[in-house]
Protein backbone atom coordinates (compact mmCIF):
# COMPACT_ATOMS: atom_id res chain seq x y z
CA UNK A 1 0.00 0.00 0.00
CA UNK A 2 1.08 3.54 -0.77
CA UNK A 3 1.57 5.83 2.24
CA UNK A 4 2.09 9.60 2.36
CA UNK A 5 3.39 11.13 5.57
CA UNK A 6 3.18 14.89 6.06
CA UNK A 7 5.12 16.04 9.10
CA UNK A 8 4.99 19.54 10.60
CA UNK A 9 4.50 21.33 7.27
CA UNK A 10 5.16 25.07 7.53
CA UNK A 11 4.94 27.49 4.60
CA UNK A 12 5.30 31.28 4.48
CA UNK A 13 4.62 33.81 1.74
CA UNK A 14 5.90 37.40 2.00
CA UNK A 15 6.50 37.09 5.75
CA UNK A 16 3.02 35.65 6.29
CA UNK A 17 2.82 32.12 7.67
CA UNK A 18 0.11 30.34 5.68
CA UNK A 19 0.60 26.86 7.12
CA UNK A 20 2.06 26.63 10.62
CA UNK A 21 2.03 22.96 11.55
CA UNK A 22 0.18 20.44 9.39
CA UNK A 23 0.77 16.71 9.76
CA UNK A 24 -1.13 13.75 8.35
CA UNK A 25 -0.75 10.12 7.32
CA UNK A 26 -2.62 9.36 4.09
CA UNK A 27 -3.11 5.95 2.49
CA UNK A 28 -3.46 4.63 -1.02
CA UNK A 29 -6.86 3.79 -2.45
CA UNK A 30 -8.43 6.85 -0.87
CA UNK A 31 -9.81 10.17 -2.05
CA UNK A 32 -8.78 12.84 0.44
CA UNK A 33 -10.42 16.27 0.50
CA UNK A 34 -8.76 19.37 1.92
CA UNK A 35 -11.39 21.88 3.02
CA UNK A 36 -11.38 25.27 4.74
CA UNK A 37 -12.13 28.92 4.09
CA UNK A 38 -10.53 31.06 1.38
CA UNK A 39 -6.84 31.74 1.93
CA UNK A 40 -6.43 29.05 4.57
CA UNK A 41 -3.75 27.17 2.60
CA UNK A 42 -5.55 24.40 0.71
CA UNK A 43 -3.86 25.16 -2.61
CA UNK A 44 -0.56 25.84 -0.86
CA UNK A 45 -0.59 22.41 0.77
CA UNK A 46 -1.34 20.70 -2.53
CA UNK A 47 1.44 22.65 -4.26
CA UNK A 48 3.87 21.60 -1.53
CA UNK A 49 3.04 17.94 -2.13
CA UNK A 50 3.51 18.55 -5.87
CA UNK A 51 6.95 20.03 -5.19
CA UNK A 52 5.99 23.48 -6.46
CA UNK A 53 6.57 25.53 -3.30
CA UNK A 54 9.24 25.50 -0.61
CA UNK A 55 8.26 24.28 2.82
CA UNK A 56 9.63 23.34 6.20
CA UNK A 57 8.94 19.90 7.57
CA UNK A 58 8.89 16.70 5.55
CA UNK A 59 6.76 14.91 2.98
CA UNK A 60 7.45 11.22 2.41
CA UNK A 61 5.61 9.17 -0.20
CA UNK A 62 6.49 5.50 -0.25
CA UNK A 63 5.20 1.98 -0.43
CA UNK A 64 4.75 0.08 2.83
CA UNK A 65 7.86 -1.90 1.96
CA UNK A 66 9.86 1.36 2.01
CA UNK A 67 10.28 2.02 -1.73
CA UNK A 68 9.91 5.75 -2.41
CA UNK A 69 8.05 6.98 -5.46
CA UNK A 70 9.55 9.51 -7.85
CA UNK A 71 8.21 12.98 -8.66
CA UNK A 72 7.30 11.64 -12.13
CA UNK A 73 4.59 9.57 -10.47
CA UNK A 74 2.81 12.66 -9.12
CA UNK A 75 0.25 14.46 -11.32
CA UNK A 76 -0.99 17.96 -10.47
CA UNK A 77 -4.09 19.60 -11.97
CA UNK A 78 -4.19 23.34 -11.12
CA UNK A 79 -7.34 25.35 -10.63
CA UNK A 80 -6.43 27.96 -13.25
CA UNK A 81 -5.48 26.54 -16.65
CA UNK A 82 -3.55 28.95 -18.93
CA UNK A 83 -4.36 28.86 -22.66
CA UNK A 84 -0.73 28.25 -23.51
CA UNK A 85 -0.99 25.79 -26.38
CA UNK A 86 -2.45 25.41 -29.85
CA UNK A 87 -2.11 21.65 -29.66
CA UNK A 88 -5.30 19.71 -30.18
CA UNK A 89 -7.13 18.21 -27.23
CA UNK A 90 -5.94 14.73 -28.24
CA UNK A 91 -2.33 15.92 -28.43
CA UNK A 92 -2.58 17.66 -25.06
CA UNK A 93 -3.84 14.51 -23.38
CA UNK A 94 -1.20 12.38 -25.13
CA UNK A 95 1.46 14.56 -23.47
CA UNK A 96 0.47 12.83 -20.25
CA UNK A 97 2.43 9.85 -21.58
CA UNK A 98 5.50 11.94 -22.40
CA UNK A 99 7.78 9.83 -20.19
CA UNK A 100 6.98 6.82 -22.42
CA UNK A 101 6.94 8.52 -25.83
CA UNK A 102 9.63 8.17 -28.47
CA UNK A 103 9.76 9.02 -32.17
CA UNK A 104 6.92 6.55 -32.68
CA UNK A 105 3.69 6.68 -30.67
CA UNK A 106 2.55 3.21 -29.66
CA UNK A 107 -1.02 2.17 -30.38
CA UNK A 108 -1.48 1.31 -26.70
CA UNK A 109 -0.84 4.96 -25.79
CA UNK A 110 -3.36 6.15 -28.38
CA UNK A 111 -5.90 3.68 -27.04
CA UNK A 112 -5.37 4.92 -23.48
CA UNK A 113 -5.92 8.54 -24.56
CA UNK A 114 -9.10 7.56 -26.40
CA UNK A 115 -10.37 5.66 -23.36
CA UNK A 116 -9.88 8.61 -21.00
CA UNK A 117 -11.36 11.10 -23.47
CA UNK A 118 -14.46 8.92 -23.72
CA UNK A 119 -14.74 8.63 -19.92
CA UNK A 120 -14.69 12.42 -19.60
CA UNK A 121 -16.98 12.90 -22.63
CA UNK A 122 -14.27 14.85 -24.46
CA UNK A 123 -13.93 12.76 -27.61
CA UNK A 124 -16.02 15.22 -29.64
CA UNK A 125 -13.42 17.89 -28.80
CA UNK A 126 -10.38 15.75 -29.62
CA UNK A 127 -9.47 17.72 -32.78
CA UNK A 128 -10.21 21.15 -31.29
CA UNK A 129 -7.42 23.54 -30.36
CA UNK A 130 -6.86 23.50 -26.60
CA UNK A 131 -6.56 27.30 -26.52
CA UNK A 132 -10.07 27.69 -27.94
CA UNK A 133 -11.80 25.73 -25.18
CA UNK A 134 -13.86 27.09 -22.32
CA UNK A 135 -12.30 27.14 -18.85
CA UNK A 136 -14.34 24.12 -17.80
CA UNK A 137 -13.31 22.17 -20.89
CA UNK A 138 -9.65 23.02 -20.30
CA UNK A 139 -9.93 21.77 -16.73
CA UNK A 140 -11.32 18.45 -17.98
CA UNK A 141 -8.56 18.12 -20.60
CA UNK A 142 -5.79 18.66 -18.04
CA UNK A 143 -7.47 16.10 -15.77
CA UNK A 144 -7.49 13.67 -18.70
CA UNK A 145 -3.79 14.39 -19.27
CA UNK A 146 -3.09 13.62 -15.61
CA UNK A 147 -5.06 10.36 -15.66
CA UNK A 148 -3.29 9.15 -18.80
CA UNK A 149 0.02 9.43 -16.95
CA UNK A 150 -1.21 6.77 -14.47
CA UNK A 151 0.07 8.65 -11.40
CA UNK A 152 0.44 7.13 -7.96
CA UNK A 153 -0.49 10.51 -6.48
CA UNK A 154 -3.19 12.63 -8.15
CA UNK A 155 -3.48 16.23 -6.92
CA UNK A 156 -6.58 18.21 -7.90
CA UNK A 157 -6.89 21.87 -6.96
CA UNK A 158 -10.60 22.73 -6.94
CA UNK A 159 -11.36 20.42 -9.89
CA UNK A 160 -15.07 21.27 -9.91
CA UNK A 161 -14.77 25.07 -9.69
CA UNK A 162 -15.62 25.78 -13.36
CA UNK A 163 -17.88 22.79 -14.03
CA UNK A 164 -21.64 22.32 -14.24
CA UNK A 165 -23.27 19.89 -11.82
CA UNK A 166 -23.15 16.95 -14.25
CA UNK A 167 -19.43 17.33 -14.83
CA UNK A 168 -18.78 17.90 -11.12
CA UNK A 169 -20.24 14.47 -10.37
CA UNK A 170 -18.45 12.96 -13.35
CA UNK A 171 -15.03 14.25 -12.29
CA UNK A 172 -15.39 13.13 -8.68
CA UNK A 173 -16.77 9.73 -9.73
CA UNK A 174 -13.70 9.24 -11.92
CA UNK A 175 -11.27 10.50 -9.26
CA UNK A 176 -12.81 8.22 -6.63
CA UNK A 177 -12.81 5.23 -8.97
CA UNK A 178 -9.20 5.88 -10.01
CA UNK A 179 -8.03 5.79 -6.39
CA UNK A 180 -9.89 2.61 -5.56
CA UNK A 181 -8.91 0.67 -8.69
CA UNK A 182 -5.23 1.69 -8.80
CA UNK A 183 -4.40 2.15 -5.12
CA UNK A 184 -3.36 5.74 -5.79
CA UNK A 185 -3.70 8.62 -3.36
CA UNK A 186 -5.98 11.36 -4.70
CA UNK A 187 -5.96 14.68 -2.86
CA UNK A 188 -8.38 17.41 -3.83
CA UNK A 189 -9.16 20.89 -2.54
CA UNK A 190 -12.91 21.46 -2.55
CA UNK A 191 -15.24 24.30 -1.57
CA UNK A 192 -18.45 22.29 -1.99
CA UNK A 193 -18.67 20.63 1.41
CA UNK A 194 -21.56 18.35 0.46
CA UNK A 195 -19.59 16.93 -2.47
CA UNK A 196 -16.51 16.59 -0.27
CA UNK A 197 -18.51 14.67 2.34
CA UNK A 198 -20.09 12.44 -0.31
CA UNK A 199 -16.94 11.42 -2.16
CA UNK A 200 -14.15 11.56 0.41
CA UNK A 201 -12.71 8.66 2.35
CA UNK A 202 -10.75 11.09 4.51
CA UNK A 203 -10.96 14.85 5.06
CA UNK A 204 -8.57 17.50 6.37
CA UNK A 205 -10.18 20.70 7.70
CA UNK A 206 -7.67 23.56 7.76
CA UNK A 207 -8.07 26.60 9.99
CA UNK A 208 -5.60 29.27 11.07
CA UNK A 209 -2.62 27.46 9.59
CA UNK A 210 -3.35 24.20 11.38
CA UNK A 211 -5.33 21.04 10.80
CA UNK A 212 -8.44 21.70 12.90
CA UNK A 213 -9.79 18.18 12.33
CA UNK A 214 -8.95 15.11 10.24
CA UNK A 215 -10.80 11.88 9.70
CA UNK A 216 -13.78 10.36 7.95
CA UNK A 217 -16.46 12.75 6.63
CA UNK A 218 -18.85 12.06 9.51
CA UNK A 219 -16.32 13.24 12.10
CA UNK A 220 -15.14 16.29 10.12
CA UNK A 221 -18.44 17.62 8.79
CA UNK A 222 -19.60 18.70 12.22
CA UNK A 223 -21.63 21.91 12.71
CA UNK A 224 -19.43 23.25 15.51
CA UNK A 225 -16.19 22.56 13.63
CA UNK A 226 -17.52 24.10 10.42
CA UNK A 227 -18.71 27.19 12.29
CA UNK A 228 -15.27 27.61 13.83
CA UNK A 229 -13.54 27.25 10.46
CA UNK A 230 -15.92 29.25 8.27
CA UNK A 231 -17.47 31.67 10.80
CA UNK A 232 -20.90 30.59 9.60
CA UNK A 233 -23.61 28.72 11.48
CA UNK A 234 -24.53 25.64 9.45
CA UNK A 235 -27.06 22.87 9.63
CA UNK A 236 -25.83 19.38 8.74
CA UNK A 237 -28.37 16.74 7.78
CA UNK A 238 -29.16 13.87 5.45
CA UNK A 239 -31.13 13.89 2.22
CA UNK A 240 -33.90 11.36 1.63
CA UNK A 241 -31.30 9.24 -0.20
CA UNK A 242 -28.81 9.40 2.64
CA UNK A 243 -26.42 12.03 1.29
CA UNK A 244 -24.97 14.65 3.63
CA UNK A 245 -26.53 18.10 3.27
CA UNK A 246 -24.90 21.28 4.58
CA UNK A 247 -27.02 24.42 4.78
CA UNK A 248 -25.51 27.81 5.73
CA UNK A 249 -27.84 29.52 8.22
CA UNK A 250 -26.23 32.80 9.26
CA UNK A 251 -22.90 34.53 9.78
CA UNK A 252 -21.50 33.96 13.24
Name the phi and psi angles at 229, rounded to 5: -80, -40
Q: Looking at 150, 165, 182, which one is the last position of a domain?
A: 150
Q: Looking at 94, 118, 150, which one is the last position of a domain?
A: 150
| pLDDT for residue 103 | 61
Asked if residue 195 belongs to a domain, the reply is: yes
Asked if residue 9 belongs to a domain, the reply is: yes
Give the pLDDT of the chain (252 residues) as one tens digit per residue.
999 999 999 999 888 999 999 999 999 999 999 999 999 999 999 999 999 999 999 999 999 888 899 888 999 999 887 766 789 999 999 989 877 655 677 888 899 999 999 999 999 999 999 999 998 999 999 999 999 999 999 999 999 998 999 999 999 999 999 999 999 999 999 999 999 999 999 999 999 999 999 999 999 999 999 999 999 999 999 999 999 999 999 999
Q: Looking at 116, 150, 184, which one is the last position of a domain?
A: 150
Residues 168, 201, single domain; the answer is yes
Asked if residue 247 belongs to a domain, the reply is: no
Residue 103 CA to residue 6 CA, distance in Å, equals 39
Asked if residue 228 belongs to a domain, the reply is: no
Q: Which domain holds residue 139?
A: 83-150
| pLDDT for residue 13 | 87
Residues 64, 173, single domain; the answer is yes
Residues 213, 116, single domain; the answer is no
DSSP annotation string for the chain: -EEEEEEEEEEEETTEEEEEEEEEEEETT-EEEEE-STTSSHHHHHHHHHT-S--EEEEEEEETTSPBPPGGGEEEE-SS------SBHHHHHHGGGGGG--SS--HHHHHHHHHHHHHTT-GGGTTSBGGGS-HHHHHHHHHHHHHHT--SEEEEESTTTT--HHHHHHHHHHHHHHHHHH--EEEEE-S-HHHHHHH-SEEEEEETTEEEEEESHHHHS-HHHHHHHHSEEEEEEE-TTS-EEEEEEEE-
CATH code of the domain in which 59 resides: 3.40.50.300
Residues 5, 51, single domain; the answer is yes
Residues 163, 65, single domain; the answer is yes
Residues 51, 171, single domain; the answer is yes
pTM to 2 decimal places: 0.95
Asked if residue 1 belongs to a domain, the reply is: yes
Number of domains in the chain: 2
Residues 169, 213, single domain; the answer is yes
Residues 184, 124, single domain; the answer is no
Asked if residue 244 belongs to a domain, the reply is: no
Asked if residue 75 belongs to a domain, the reply is: no
Residues 157, 207, single domain; the answer is yes
Amino acid sequence: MLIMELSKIRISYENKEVLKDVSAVLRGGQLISVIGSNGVGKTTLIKAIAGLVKFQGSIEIKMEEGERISSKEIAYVPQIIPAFSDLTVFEMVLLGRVKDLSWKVEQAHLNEVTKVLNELELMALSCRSFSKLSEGEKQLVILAQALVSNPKVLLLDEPTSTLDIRHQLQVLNIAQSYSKTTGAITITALHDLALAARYSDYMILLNGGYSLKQGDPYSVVDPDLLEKAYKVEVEVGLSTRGYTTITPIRLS
